[in-house]
């Protein structure tokens, strides 16, 4: 349990940190943090370039000043801190993340990315760090679409390269339109141009709650259970440092604190140690 007072304290500390950073912006770059002496990790002193597609709130999005914010962002920062590495984010299209890992252009990707067997062929994943699943979204006054089979021969919008896009591709007769981001796909539904969107439930629910996509609701049960992992190049030297840091953050309550910050509740149940 996180005490409210502690939560407020952390938020305030986070804020003053942001102000400090803002104050530094006008002048010289702040000096690099000193290497944690004797940190029990091979990552100490490293800089990790971490790719993300930042139009997936509450996991990753851009704040008012263009800075990256979200659950994944906070978690990755905490992992870097724990491992003694500096995290530098790089915004990329979602379907560009795996190719960028393969060429070594980035060291890791955190982007609400589902651990799948298909992706495991080309990249490695950290231990699971979030339980999610796909949901169908439809117009609020739609009473016909309730399950996957109701989507046959319907017009469906999805984000390119996602597990939602894969699901839609398997539906007989469906006319699938792909978008560069989940918000664009949801906007298409809100505008009445498609019958449904298949997307990660927490992101669709967040978009509905934020009021950004009026007239949209989620139907039925989740279509899948999926686990997010941090993706790494197959031969990454950092996988152990990342998994150890994740284990520690889950164990010591830091994970729960970040979870509560972005979802307003405590994490439900335990995460499995592996997803597949």
Report the interface residues with ligand ARG, using CB under 6 A.
53, 56, 60, 94, 111-114, 159, 162-163, 182, 200
State the minimum distance, in angstroms, from the CB of residue 103 to ligand ARG.
19
Q: Which residues contact 206 (CB under 8 A, 6 or more apart)?
A: 57, 58
Nearer to ligand ARG, 42 or 224 (CB): 224
Nearer to ligand ARG, 135 or 241 (CB): 135
State the minimum distance, in angstroms, from the CB of residue 228 to ligand ARG.
6
State the minimum distance, in angstroms, from the CB of residue 55 to ligand ARG.
6
Nearer to ligand ARG, 43 or 79 (CB): 79
For 19-58, the DSSP string reads: HHHHHHHTSSPPPPPPPPTT-SSTTTT-EEEEEE---BTT
CA dihedral 137, 143, 147, 148 (to 10 degrees): -70
Cα angle at 51 between 47 and 52, to 5 degrees?
Answer: 135
Beta bridge partners of 216: 139
Alpha-carbon dihedral sign for residues 229, 230, 233, 234: negative
Picking from 158, 141, 146, the residue whose alpha carbon sits closest to that of residue 200 is 158
Strands (E) across 59-190 are located at 61-62, 68-69, 86-91, 108-109, 123-125, 130-132, 134-139, 155-159, 175-179
Nearer to ligand ARG, 79 or 182 (CB): 182
Nearer to ligand ARG, 53 or 188 (CB): 53
Nearer to ligand ARG, 114 or 187 (CB): 114
Cα-to-chain-centroid distance, residue 230? 9
State the minimum distance, in angstroms, from the CB of residue 76 to ligand ARG.
13
State the minimum distance, in angstroms, from the CB of residue 96 to ligand ARG.
11
State the minimum distance, in angstroms, from the CB of residue 170 to ligand ARG.
14
């Amino acid at each position: 349990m996180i005490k409210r007072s502690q939560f407020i304290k952390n938020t305030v500390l986070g804020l003053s940190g942001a102000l400090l950073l803002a104050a530094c912006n006008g002048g010289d770059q702040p000096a690099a943090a000193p290497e944690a002496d004797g940190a029990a990790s091979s990552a100490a002193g490293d800089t990790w370039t971490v790719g993300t597609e930042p139009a997936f709130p509450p996991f990753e999005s851009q704040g008012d000043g263009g800075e990256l914010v979200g659950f994944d962002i906070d978690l990755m920062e905490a992992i870097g801190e724990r491992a003694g590495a500096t995290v530098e984010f790089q915004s990329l299209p979602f379907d560009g993340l795996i190719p960028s890992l393969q060429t070594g252009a980035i060291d890791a990707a955190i982007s609400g990315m589902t651990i799948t067997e298909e992706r495991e062929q080309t990249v490695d994943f950290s231990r699971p760090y979030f339980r999610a699943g796909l949901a169908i979204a439809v117009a609020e006054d739609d009473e016909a679409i309730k399950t996957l089979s109701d989507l046959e021969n319907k017009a469906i919008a999805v984000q390119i390269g996602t597990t939602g896009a894969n699901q839609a591709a398997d539906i007989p007769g469906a006319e699938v339109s792909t978008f560069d981001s989940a918000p664009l796909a949801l906007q298409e539904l809100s505008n009445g141009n498609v019958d449904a969107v298949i997307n990660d439930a927490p992101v669709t629910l967040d978009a509905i709650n934020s009021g950004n996509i009026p007239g949209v609701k989620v139907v039925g049960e989740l279509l899948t259970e999926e686990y997010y992992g941090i993706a790494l190049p197959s031969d990454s030297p950092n996988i152990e440092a990342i998994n150890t840091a994740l284990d520690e953050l889950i164990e010591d309550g830091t994970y729960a604190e970040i979870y509560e910050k972005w979802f307003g509740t405590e994490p439900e149940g335990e995460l499995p140690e592996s997803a597949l």
